[in-house]
Amino acid sequence: MSDKPAVLFLCVKNGGKSQMALGLFAHYAGDRATAWSGGSEPGEALSAGAVAAMAAVGIDITHEHPKRWTDAQLQEADVVVTMGCGDACPYVPGTRYEDWEITPAPSEDQRDEIDGRVRALMESLGLEPGPSVIAG
């Protein structure tokens, strides 16, 4: 891992869970890390629920769009986080993988669950996430 860790968040449609993870990670990490998201079968648009859930905690993800991951991202990633793409998710030997089983729930509940996982991931990478955006 370089001085600036790189994380790739993957799911199927790349419109909800992986976009929320990317938004939270980018918010907490700032320029101390690099992150991307991608999908195995990218959808047409971001989930309206995911956009609203993130906006509710002051994070705007509307500049993103569903997309497939790239080979360059796979090669650069220190950690690949998969969220439900199963066998469609790529595997790169020697890369650290985490499979996050996110509870099917309203977007706000998923956001809160992902927030905790993103914060734990950051700590494992030696990055202090700072105060959580999630109240409570």
The confidence score (pLDDT) of residue 136 equals 63
Mean pLDDT over all residues of the chain?
94
Encode pLDDT of 62-109 as tens digits. Answer: 999 999 999 999 999 999 999 988 888 888 999 999 999 998 888 999
The confidence score (pLDDT) of residue 2 equals 59
Ordered structural domains, the chain, with CATH? 6-124 (3.40.50.2300)
The confidence score (pLDDT) of residue 89 equals 87
The Cβ of residue 99 has, within 10 Å, a number of other Cβ atoms equal to 13
Catalytic center residues: 11, 85, 89
Residue type (1 letter), 16: G
Query: Where in the chain does DSSP place strands (E)?
Result: 6-11, 34-39, 79-82, 96-99
Model confidence at 1, pLDDT cuts 50, 70, 90, reads low
